[in-house]
Homo-oligomer: A and B are copies of this chain.
Amino acid sequence: MIMETIGIIHTSFKTKEECPIQPLYSPESSGRVEVFVEYEQGLKDIETFSHIHLLYLFNRTGEIKLVRPTFLDDEPHGIYASRHPFRPNGIGLSIVKLIRREGNVLLIEGADMIDETPLLDIKPYIPKYDAISSASEGWTADKKWRPKPEGRE
């Protein structure tokens, strides 16, 4: 199947190394989601939501490995038990705070993707569907944020 870019996400992160991994670790980093004008109508009423899911393309990735150490842990984990960007199909998912809509542009906080990232989809974050506070943290439970290990992708 073929996917098309519906917009571009603009952030202050120019390289993978600068990227903060998850919005949790970059709550104040702002960004601009530019939705191409031919899709602008699809944004109607998005401003009623405080948070949105962004689905985007990891387009500056490296070798895909099905099992690898990750940012949070030196132990290797499966790619489907991780949010690592080098993955089959390369779709990124971030929940960001929607600050304001200006026409075809969404101003967001919690941006954690590289500047000029191709946008695939936007879905409203709806707590009754999406906020499952009882879910387990899995293997990440006792892992703390740390600087990205040297040489680790």
Contact = CB atoms under 8 A, between A and B. Distances in A.
A40 to B, nearest CB: 8
A125 interface: yes
Contacts of A123: 80, 83, 93
A80 B62 CA distance: 30
| Interface footprint category on A | 35 or more
A120 interface: yes
B121 A78 contact: no
Contact of A132 (B42, B95, B137): B95
B120 A91 contact: yes
Interface string A97-118: 0000000000000000000001
A28 B80 CA distance: 23
Interface in A61-86: 66-67, 76-83
A130 interface: yes
B45 A138 contact: yes
Given A79-B42, A80-B42, A91 B132 contact: no
Sorted from nearest, which 9 A-B pairs have the closest CB atoms? A44-B78, A49-B138, A48-B138, A42-B66, A50-B136, A41-B66, A45-B81, A80-B122, A51-B135
Interface in A19-49: 22-24, 35, 39, 41-46, 48-49
